[in-house]
């Protein structure tokens, strides 16, 4: 990445060396190893990166045998031993922890935690370029060492970020970010504030520019209450919090619009006209996202200096060890990790040599037209309006 080439007459290109991707094994009683093995059973994957699985060679053998995996792996003890063109397994978990398919155990949670810790240490040491996390069981992993609600909060703590992380689910041109993440529904409204939404919109906007290289990103903001609160009849959060946050973000130069009632927004396909969507709570954003992504979604942690992605599914204890897991989301998580690392490299280099970047900024994102349907409670919305028939 440090050998980034700059030439005023040639396009900026990414470094030629193969990126090293650290992949944590997740909860070893789930489908983590299975989706990793299946993803790399396609030989092309090993041409794209040098993968390092952080886990256990014993556990890897157990899963490999259970599902009759079609890819072999190379055992290592330190990241510098990783071989290109091979799937490397870095042993960092005690041998006495057993695999018990489908069971949530504290031992498995400990194994998941140890893999995370080693991957983070290697990332900080510059031994890997990105981290892809296989699913954990959030209850099993809880301990005095891991007192977090999920991966997102853990990574923010370990990397000491001053900016709150943003959970961003991605699939092609569909990107859904969450204002709040792992909260009981009854607590969502009390956690929303103008300041929180402004922060999330800033983080999302910056990520679209830097991580996805979208030159003029448009963001849709969803309402909290049904029918956008019906002028306060069903709730005042839209008028008191969401509208002011949108207005202030617009004055800061962030092109965001709304709020939009979530059911009509997704039901009428209005999401197609935006580069990203900010949902107010977990299931409001993830339920429609997963239905539309159909197993190909990726969970990306935006707003932090490191690159971390993950499949958009859980441990799937009910099918663990049976060879039935779909590896698509894991494969796309690896693709996205590679893309974001390269995009950030391009973005950094373009600041010292802006001409190639200016060329890209004059092109629409994949050539698609984007329109802006009208919505309730629009605040200083300068985007062109369309009638319902036109939408």
Rg (CA), the chain: 22
DSSP assignment letter at 132? E
Which pLDDT belongs to residue 159? 81
Q: Which of 174, 379, 199 is nearest to 291 (CA)?
A: 174
Please say whether the beta carbons of 246 and 383 come within 8 A.
Answer: no
Cα 350 from chain centroid (whole Å): 24
Which pLDDT belongs to residue 357? 53
Which residue numbers in the chain have pLDDT < 70?
1-16, 161-162, 352-391
Strands 19-24, 130-133: pairing kind? parallel
Could you read off the pLDDT of 72-94 as tens digits, one per residue?
Answer: 999 999 999 999 999 999 999 99
Which pLDDT belongs to residue 150? 82
Residue with tokens 């969401």: 242
Measured N-to-C along each axis, helices 328-352 and 32-39 cross at an angle, to the nearest 10 degrees, of: 70
Could you read off the pLDDT of 125-173 as tens digits, one per residue?
Answer: 999 999 999 999 999 999 998 988 888 888 888 887 667 789 999 998 9
Residue 131 and residue 87: Cα distance in Å, rounded?
15
Residue with tokens 């900024």: 361
């Amino acid at each position: 990445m440090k050998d980034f080439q700059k030439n005023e007459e040639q396009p900026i290109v990414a470094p030629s060396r193969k990126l090293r991707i650290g992949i944590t094994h997740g909860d070893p009683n789930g489908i983590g190893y299975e989706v990793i093995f299946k993803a790399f059973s396609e030989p092309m994957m090993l041409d794209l990166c040098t993968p390092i699985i952080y886990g256990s060679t014993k556990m890897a053998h157990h899963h490999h045998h259970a599902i009759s995996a079609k890819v072999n792996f190379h055992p290592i003890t330190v990241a510098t031993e990783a071989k290109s063109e091979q799937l490397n397994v870095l042993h960092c978990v005690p041998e006495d922890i057993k695999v018990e398919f489908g069971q949530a155990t504290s031992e498995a949670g400990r194994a998941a935690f140890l893999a995370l810790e080693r991957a983070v240490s290697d990332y900080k040491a510059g031994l890997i370029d990105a981290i892809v996390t296989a699913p954990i069981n959030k209850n099993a992993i809880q301990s005095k060492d891991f007192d977090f609600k999920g991966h997102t909060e853990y990574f923010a703590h370990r990397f000491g970020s001053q900016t709150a992380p943003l959970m961003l689910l991605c699939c092609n041109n569909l990107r859904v970010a969450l204002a709040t993440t792992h909260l009981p529904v009854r607590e969502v409204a009390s956690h929303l504030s103008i300041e929180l939404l402004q922060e999330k919109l800033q983080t999302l906007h910056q990520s679209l520019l830097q991580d996805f290289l979208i030159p003029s990103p448009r963001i849709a903001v969803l309402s909290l209450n049904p029918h956008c609160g019906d002028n306060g009849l069903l709730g005042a959060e839209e008028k008191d919090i969401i509208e002011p946050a949108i207005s202030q973000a617009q004055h800061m130069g962030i092109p965001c619009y709304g709020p939009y009632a979530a059911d009509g927004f997704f039901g009428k396909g209005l999401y197609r006209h935006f580069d990203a969507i900010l949902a107010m709570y977990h299931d409001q954003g993830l339920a429609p996202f997963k239905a539309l992504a159909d197993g190909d979604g990726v969970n990306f942690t935006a707003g932090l200096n490191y690159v971390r992605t993950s499949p958009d599914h859980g441990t799937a204890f009910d099918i663990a060890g049976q060879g039935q897991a779909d590896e698509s989301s894991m494969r796309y998580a690896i693709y996205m990790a590679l893309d974001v690392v390269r995009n950030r490299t391009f973005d950094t280099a373009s600041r010292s040599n802006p001409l190639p970047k200016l060329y890209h900024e004059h092109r629409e994102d994949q050539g698609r037209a984007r329109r802006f349907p009208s919505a309730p409670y629009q605040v200083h919305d300068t985007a062109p309006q369309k009638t319902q028939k036109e939408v």
